[in-house]
Amino acid sequence: MKQNQYTKNIKYIIKQALREDIGDGDITTRLLIPANKNSIAHIIAKQSGVLAGRDIVYQVFKSIDPRVKINFRVKEGEKFSKGKIIAELKGNTRALLSGERTALNILCRLSGIATLTRKFVEAVAHTKAKILDTRKTTPNLRILEKYAVRMGGGTNHRFGLYDMILIKDNHIQAAGSITNAIMRTRKNNSKMLIEVETKNLSEVKESLQLKVPIIMFDNMNLKQIREAVKLAKGKARLEVSGGVNLRNIRKIAETGVDYISVGALTHSAPIIDMSMKIDN
């Protein structure tokens, strides 16, 4: 995705998020807080984690009041402990209160994804396997969630249906076979990278004969994965998908595969809880 399109998407997400929360105005804050009051606030971690989303927090508050100043005390992608002051904010009290929830919602969500990703990355650090994300993301927030995966040390798989050819089980079923699917794909588009999903050793052999550059092992057990890796012998890059968790990922990585995709990075990551406290 080009940088200008990325920037536009982020601005749109923030605009919509603030519109959802603030609507016609923050009634409580407007009634209680004088328009000219200024405050200092701190964002504090209520549990340990890995930070992701600093720039989003910055843009949330700046879009409400450009005069708000933010000093982060934790770097993006850096680990922090419970009780750590993540950032200090100075500015109009109304602006701080009105942006609080939107900023924290995004920061907590992205930091949760980065934190879970880091756990998977560290579990396979002794191998060559790279941790990939999937398209199992929150609608309209994929750009942010995949960013958080990168901050956790993971690698982004395809962004959408348009930037890579990934032939999955339903494509194969509709086409009649892996061979039919690959031949039709190559006939109609010979330039884009192709990956095919396989569910057994017979399909792996078929894919290898067709010289598919990336082969995915979908929901195979460890024995099947080991045998499939032996069959491939460096003839294709290999990805494992399905049923991956922190209990089994080490053994999966040790089979010698190149990639392990984990949908849980984005669809099941718990938030890292943080709060914002006004000091005066």
pLDDT digits (tens, 9 = 90+) for 133-165: 999 999 999 999 999 999 999 999 999 999 999
Examine residue 196 and state whether it is found in any structural domain, yes or no: yes
What's the pLDDT score for residue 210? 96
Same domain, residue pair 126 and 256 = yes
Range of the domain at 200: 122-267
Per-residue pLDDT tens digits for 87-97: 999 999 999 99
What's the pLDDT score for residue 190? 73
What are the b/e assignments for 170-191, b being 16+ CB within 10 Å? ebbeebeebeebbeebeeeeee
Same domain, residue pair 108 and 188 = no
Counting Cα atoms < 13 Å in the Cβ hemisphere of 142 gives 15
Same domain, residue pair 51 and 138 = no
Residues in the chain: 280
What's the pLDDT score for residue 189? 80
Beta-strand runs (E) in the chain: 38-45, 49-50, 69-72, 79-80, 85-92, 130-132, 165-167, 194-198, 214-218, 237-241, 259-261, 274-278
The catalytic site residues sit at 101, 136, 168, 197, 218
C-alpha 177/C-alpha 202 separation (Å) is 12
Same domain, residue pair 59 and 135 = no
What's the pLDDT score for residue 191? 83
Domain count, the chain: 2
Same domain, residue pair 35 and 126 = no
Same domain, residue pair 143 and 110 = no
Query: Is 56 in contact with 17 (CB distance < 8 Å)?
Result: no
Same domain, residue pair 67 and 87 = yes
List the chain pLDDT tens, one digit each, 280 residues: 666 777 889 999 999 999 999 999 999 999 999 999 999 999 999 999 999 999 999 999 999 999 999 999 999 999 999 999 999 999 999 999 999 999 999 999 999 999 999 999 999 999 999 999 999 999 999 999 999 999 999 999 999 999 999 999 999 999 999 999 999 999 998 789 999 999 999 999 999 999 999 999 999 999 999 999 999 999 999 999 999 999 999 999 999 999 999 999 999 999 999 999 999 8
**The domain that contains 43 carries what CATH number?**
3.90.1170.20
Same domain, residue pair 225 and 130 = yes
Same domain, residue pair 103 and 186 = no
Same domain, residue pair 241 and 200 = yes
Same domain, residue pair 105 and 162 = no
Other Cβ atoms closer than 10 A to 5? 10
